[in-house]
């Protein structure tokens, strides 16, 4: 049985095809066209479709719904998670799918789930599948853009994974220190908060900046617990639809 999972984010749309738990296709698009969908459907004999979106419906979604029973992922799909979020209808579907994905990949353990996308998200699911909530902060590129946009003289920079200084000795390195070291200390602070009092947990990094975050944490005490899952949301969607109506 082949499953098409779609993760529509703020910046990119990711389309993946799964054969049970094996990802056999992955594509990333700034804009998905109906032609893209036709090519995908001609290549794979899709049986089920699940879509997570942080935006509204697009033309290609209508195209799929006319030919398939499309499952729109939301908080009503439990997939083995005990969701304690006070307003589950406002919980980002990408965050919930990532938590489901982490729990499915690493069951019976505590998981700190960190998403590096447009925003940085922090979520925690315990070994008994309890999910209470998390945190959202500005993402890596958003921080660099904000420093430039909200000032008169500071330049627009991009991330540099070679920067390892503890402080900057000129304007550009000072910005890099503020943004990148700031994220590093933020990551360590959130992970430490979730794992205090002797609690051990996997640190599951996902999203476009997951490799960069791994670099920031490479010398931290949490490095041995890091799991890099760039497509965790898609894997969570795949797990969710397989468990749907079980």
Coil, helix or strand at residue 166:
coil
Active site residues: 94
Place of tokens 């599948």: 129
For 103, residues 6+ apart whose C-beta sits below 8 A from its C-beta are: 80, 81, 111, 125, 129
Coil, helix or strand at residue 154:
coil
Coil, helix or strand at residue 217:
coil
Question: Residue 145 and residue 152: Cα distance in Å, rounded?
Answer: 13
DSSP H/E element including 135: strand 130-138
| Tally of CB atoms within 10 A around 56 | 7
> Can you read off the two tokens belonging to residue 54?
């942080």
CA nearest 78: which of 233, 203, 207, 242?
242
């Amino acid at each position: 049985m082949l499953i098409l999972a779609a993760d529509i984010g703020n910046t990119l749309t990711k389309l993946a095809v799964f054969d049970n738990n094996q990802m056999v296709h992955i594509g990333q698009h700034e804009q998905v066209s109906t032609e893209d969908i036709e090519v995908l459907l001609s290549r794979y004999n899709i049986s089920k479709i699940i879509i997570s979106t942080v935006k509204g419906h697009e033309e290609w979604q209508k195209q799929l719904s006319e030919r398939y029973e499309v499952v729109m992922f939301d908080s009503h799909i439990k997939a083995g998670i005990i969701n304690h979020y006070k307003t589950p209808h406002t919980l980002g579907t990408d965050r919930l799918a990532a938590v489901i994905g982490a729990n499915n990949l690493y069951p019976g353990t505590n998981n700190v789930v960190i998403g590096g996308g447009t925003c940085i998200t922090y979520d925690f699911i315990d070994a008994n599948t309890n999910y209470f909530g998390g945190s959202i902060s500005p993402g890596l590129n958003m921080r660099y853009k904000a420093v430039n946009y909200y000032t008169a003289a500071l330049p627009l920079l991009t991330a540099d994974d070679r920067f390892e200084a503890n402080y900057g000795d000129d304007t550009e390195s000072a910005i890099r220190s503020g943004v990148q070291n700031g994220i590093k200390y933020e990551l360590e602070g959130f992970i430490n908060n979730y794992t205090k009092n002797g609690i051990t947990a996997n640190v599951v990094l996902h999203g476009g900046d997951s490799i960069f975050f791994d670099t920031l944490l490479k010398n931290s005490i949490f490095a041995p617990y890091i799991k890099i899952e760039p497509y965790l949301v898609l894997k969570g969607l795949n797990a969710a639809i397989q468990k749907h109506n079980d």
